[in-house]
Amino acid sequence: MDPEWFEAATAGSAVGREARAVDWERTPLGPPSGWPVALRHAVRLCYSTHFPVMMVWGPDLTLIYNDGYRGMLGTDKHPAALGAPATVVWDEIWDEIGPLFERVLTTGEPTWSRDLPLLMNRSGYTEETYFTFSYSPLLDDDGRVAGVLDIATETTQEVVNQRRLSTVGQVHAVLPTTYEDVPTFVGPALEVMSRSADISRVAVYDAEGGEVLLETGQPPEEAEQALVERALATGLRVTSRGVVVKPVRSGLGRGILAVLVLRATSLRPWDADYARFLAVLATNVAAALRDGVRRRANDDALRLRARRSEEERARATEVSLALQRAVLSNPPQLDGLEVVVHYQPAAAGRDIGGDWYDAFVTRDGATTLVIGDVVGHDLDAAVAMGQLRALVRAIGYDSQETPARVLERVDAAIDGLAFGGAATATVLVARIEQTEEQRRRGVRTVRWSSAGHLPPVLARADGTSEVLWIHNDLVLGLAPTTSRTDHTVDLRDGDTLVLYTDGLVENRTDSLRRRVEALAAMLDGTHGAAMGDVVSDVLAGMLPGAVEDDVAIVAVRVRPEAAARAGASSVGVAVEAGGGARPDGG
C-alpha cells in the first residue's frame, strides 16, 4: 500500500490538510494507508472539486468532506466532524436525513432533495436552513454499497430572500388606499406579517399614550418599551439587535400617528440583510399609512369645499331666482294688444342666467317690449340683468326715443356708471306705435333695434310666419359710442310678434338659423289659438327634454279692432321656478 496517497489527495485543500491531522487509526476506517481502492478514489474525487462534497463510509458512516462543504457545518461542527459518525455530527436533523442515507445504503438508488428545510444547530443556536442535494451510493472493491456520496448546495439565502420579497409584496398588496383609523389601516398588513417565518412579533403603539393598539406573535421583550419611547422622542427609526422600531408620521406637519415594532425570529442570524428587510417592511407600512392620512385630509377638505361651494351656489341660485322673480313683473294692460310673457330657468342643478323680459307703456303712450340676455350664468349675471333692465326701462320710458336711440343711451350709461364686463348683453327693444291714420286703417308699426339679439318672429293673421332677419348691431356693453339702427314692420289685426332668448332655440345638433326657422314653422297656423296655448306648444315642441338654458318669451298679438273698441284687454304671464313651462294665457 502507498502511504503517501492520502497526502497527495488532500494537498490542495485547506480542509484536506486538517484531515491529515485526524487520528484515523482511532476511527472505524483505520489509517489511510489501509483504505480500499474504492474509498481512495472517492476521497480523491472529494478533494479535487470546489463544489461542496461530503461522503460517509463504513457501518458507522464516518464523515469526510472538502472545503466547499466546510461552510455548511457552521462555526461549531468543524473540524470535529472529520472522521466522526454522521449520526453524531447531524444528530439534530437525523430524523430527516437518516432515512435518506438508509435508502441509498439499502437499495443502492440515489436520492434528490430540493430546498429541503432543516433546523440545524451548527453555530450555537437552532437555525433554519435549506439544502438542495443528492445522496449517491459508493461501492467498495467488491461492488457492494459501502458508503454515500453527498453533492450538495445550501439554498438558505435564496429561499429566505424569495420569501421575504413575497412578504413585502403581500403587505404592499393588502395596504388600504383609504384611511379610517390606525388599527383598521394596519390590520391587514399585520395579519400578513404574522404569517411570515421571518417575523416573530408585530406591534403597533399609540403615539399619544404609548399603549399597544395591535400586536401579534411573541410577547414584548423588556427593552421594547424603551425603544418605542426613543422613537417617539426623536421621530427617527430605531434599529436594535433583532428589532426595528419605526415612528409613523401623520403627513400633516410634524405629528406622529403611531409606532410600528417588528421583531426578527431567532431561527435566522441577525445581519444587515435581515435589518434591511424589516426596515423596508416598516417603511412601506408607515409610508402607506402617512399617505392614507394625507389623502383622507385632502378628501375631507375637498368635500368641505364642495359642500360650501354647493351651499354658496344654492344661495346664489336662490338670490338669482328671487331677483328675477322680482323684476319679471306682469305686463301692463294694453288696449287692443294681448301680451303674454314667460320665463323658465334651466333644469334643476343648472346655473342661473341673466335672461329677462319687459313690457311697459312710455309717456307718449307707445307700448315698448324688451327681451334680453346677459352674458354669463351666475349671480353676477342676474345682478347685471336687474341693472340693465332698470336702465332700459327708465331710459325708454322717459326719453320717448326710438329703440336705437334708447340702446345708444343705455350703452353710454353702462360706460359712465362703470358697470364693467358683467353688463355685456344681447338686447332687443321693440316699440309699437300707431298714428291716427294707422288707427283708421287697423295698422300698427313695430319699430325695433337689436343689440346682437335673436331676430323676432312674426306670425301673421293669415296663418303664415316669417323670421325678421336683419343685420344685428353690436351687443351692449362693448363700445359705448356704437351707432345703432332702427327697423320697422307693420302689424295688423290678428298678427302676433314673438320675442325670445337663445334658450328656446339653441341646441348641440342643429345650426342656430335652422332652429329659428323651425320656431317660425311651429308658429304657422297658430293665429286662431289662444296665446297661452301657443307659448305652451312652442315650448313643448322646441324643448322636448330638460331645459338646458334659461328661456324668456314675450308674445304680443293685435286683437281685432272690434274687441279693442269694446275696451277689451288681455294680459298673461308665467314665471317658473324650474321644471316645465306653464304659460298663463289671457
212-221, 341-350, 425-434, 479-488: the lowest-pLDDT one:
341-350
CATH value at residue 292: 3.30.450.40
Q: What is the pLDDT of residue 322?
A: 63
Query: Between β-strands 425-433 and 367-374, what pairing exists: parallel, antiparallel or unpaired?
Result: antiparallel
Which residue in 372, 397, 367 sits closest to 386, CA to CA? 372
Query: Between β-strands 243-249 and 256-264, what pairing exists: parallel, antiparallel or unpaired?
Result: antiparallel
φ, ψ at 29 (rounded to 5°): -80, -25
Q: What is the pLDDT of residue 550?
A: 87
Q: What is the pLDDT of residue 57?
A: 98
* Local structure of 81: helix, strand or coil: coil
Mean per-residue pLDDT, 7-29 = 95
Q: How many helices (H) and strands (E) does the chain have?
A: 16, 21
Q: What's the predicted TM-score (pTM) here?
A: 0.56
CA distances from 307 to 303, 315, 329, 347 (A): 6, 12, 34, 20
8-22, 33-47, 276-290, 419-433: the lowest-pLDDT one:
419-433
Mean per-residue pLDDT, 508-526 = 93
Pair (81, 182) in one structural domain: no
Spell out a b/e string for 260-288, using b for 16 or more CB atoms within 10 Å of the CB, else e. bbbbbbebbeeeeebbebbebbbebbbeb
Q: Which amino acid is at 93?
A: I
Query: How far apart are the two ends of the chain, measured CA to CA in Å?
Result: 137
Pair (237, 371) in one structural domain: no
- Residues 156 and 131: their CA atoms lie apart, in Å, by 7
Secondary element (H or E) of residue 113? strand 113-120
Q: What is the pLDDT of residue 310?
A: 82
Q: What is the pLDDT of residue 382?
A: 78
Per-residue pLDDT band for 253 (boundaries 50, 70, 90) equals: low
pLDDT beyond 80 at 497: yes
Instruction: Report whether 272 contacts 279 (CB < 8 A).
Output: no
Q: How many Å separate Cα 268 from the centre of its chain?
A: 42
- Residues 212 and 205: their CA atoms lie apart, in Å, by 4
Mean per-residue pLDDT, 488-516 = 93
Q: Which of 154, 173, 207 is at the close of a domain?
A: 154
- Residues 542 and 517: their CA atoms lie apart, in Å, by 11
Q: Which of 280, 297, 314 is at the close of a domain?
A: 297
CA distances from 187 to 173, 209, 278, 476 (A): 13, 20, 17, 65
Q: What is the pLDDT of residue 566?
A: 39
Q: What is the pLDDT of residue 172?
A: 93
pLDDT tens, position by position, 319-365? 656 665 655 667 777 778 999 999 888 765 455 668 889 999 998 88
Q: What is the pLDDT of residue 379?
A: 72
What's the domain range around 361? 328-575
Per-residue pLDDT band for 40 (boundaries 50, 70, 90) equals: very high
φ, ψ at 465 (rounded to 5°): -135, 155
Pair (474, 563) in one structural domain: yes
pLDDT tens, position by position, 284-313? 999 998 888 888 888 888 888 888 878 877
pLDDT beyond 90 at 189: yes
Q: What does DSSP assign to residue 331?
A: P
Which residue in 68, 65, 73 sits closest to 52, CA to CA? 68
Identify whether 581 is part of a domain: no
CATH value at residue 106: 3.30.450.20
Mean per-residue pLDDT, 136-158 = 96
Identify whether 388 is part of a domain: yes
pLDDT tens, position by position, 554-567? 999 998 753 444 34
List of residues 6+ apart from 375 with CB closer than 8 A = 354, 381, 424, 425, 475
Give the residue carrying C-alpha cell 379610517: 180
Pair (274, 346) in one structural domain: no
Which residue in 46, 43, 48 sits closest to 32, CA to CA? 43
CA distances from 1 to 44, 80, 108, 311 (A): 16, 27, 29, 106
Instruction: Report whether 542 contacts 498 (CB < 8 A).
Output: no
For every residue of 170-217, DSSP letters joined together read HHHHH--SS-S-HHHHHHHHHHHHHT-TTEEEEEEEETTT--EEEEEE
What is the domain count for the chain?
Answer: 3
CATH value at residue 458: 3.60.40.10
> With pLDDT > 90 as the criterion, what percentage of the chain qualifies?
69
- Residues 515 and 519: their CA atoms lie apart, in Å, by 6
241-250, 273-282, 324-333, 519-528: the lowest-pLDDT one:
324-333
Pair (404, 438) in one structural domain: yes
182-196, 289-303, 472-486, 553-567: the lowest-pLDDT one:
553-567
81-90, 194-203, 558-567: the lowest-pLDDT one:
558-567
List of residues 6+ apart from 559 with CB closer than 8 A = 336, 337, 338, 493, 568, 570
> With pLDDT > 70 as the criterion, what percentage of the chain qualifies?
90
Average pLDDT along the chain: 89
φ, ψ at 390 (rounded to 5°): -65, -40
Q: Tell me the longest C-alpha to C-alpha distance in the chain.
A: 155
pLDDT beyond 90 at 213: yes
Pair (487, 455) in one structural domain: yes
Identify whether 207 is part of a domain: yes
pLDDT beyond 70 at 574: no
pLDDT beyond 70 at 450: yes
Q: What is the pLDDT of residue 577?
A: 39
Pair (257, 340) in one structural domain: no
pLDDT tens, position by position, 64-76? 999 999 999 999 9
pLDDT beyond 60 at 170: yes
Mean per-residue pLDDT, 153-160 = 96
What are 295-300's contacts with CB under 8 Å, separation 24+? 295/177, 295/178, 295/179, 296/178, 296/179, 297/251, 297/252
Identify whether 582 is part of a domain: no
Identify whether 316 is part of a domain: no
Identify whether 39 is part of a domain: yes
Q: What is the pLDDT of residue 573?
A: 46
φ, ψ at 23 (rounded to 5°): -80, 80
Q: Which of 118, 133, 154 is at the close of a domain?
A: 154
264-268, 308-312, 517-521: the lowest-pLDDT one:
308-312
Pair (386, 518) in one structural domain: yes
Identify whether 317 is part of a domain: no
pLDDT beyond 90 at 16: yes
Pair (252, 292) in one structural domain: yes
Give the residue carrying C-alpha cell 440515489: 110
pLDDT beyond 50 at 581: no
Q: What is the pLDDT of residue 561?
A: 58
Pair (400, 527) in one structural domain: yes
Q: What is the pLDDT of residue 325?
A: 61
Mean per-residue pLDDT, 55-67 = 97
pLDDT beyond 50 at 478: yes
Mean per-residue pLDDT, 176-204 = 93
136-140, 176-180, 557-561: the lowest-pLDDT one:
557-561
Identify whether 565 is part of a domain: yes
pLDDT tens, position by position, 389-423? 999 999 999 888 999 999 999 999 998 888 876 78
Pair (209, 146) in one structural domain: no
Q: What is the pLDDT of residue 522?
A: 95
C-alpha cell at 22: 485526524
pLDDT beyond 60 at 182: yes
Pair (419, 368) in one structural domain: yes
- Residues 12 and 18: their CA atoms lie apart, in Å, by 11
Higher-pLDDT residue of 562 and 224 is 224
Higher-pLDDT residue of 135 and 374 is 135
Q: What is the pLDDT of residue 380?
A: 76
Per-residue pLDDT band for 243 (boundaries 50, 70, 90) equals: very high
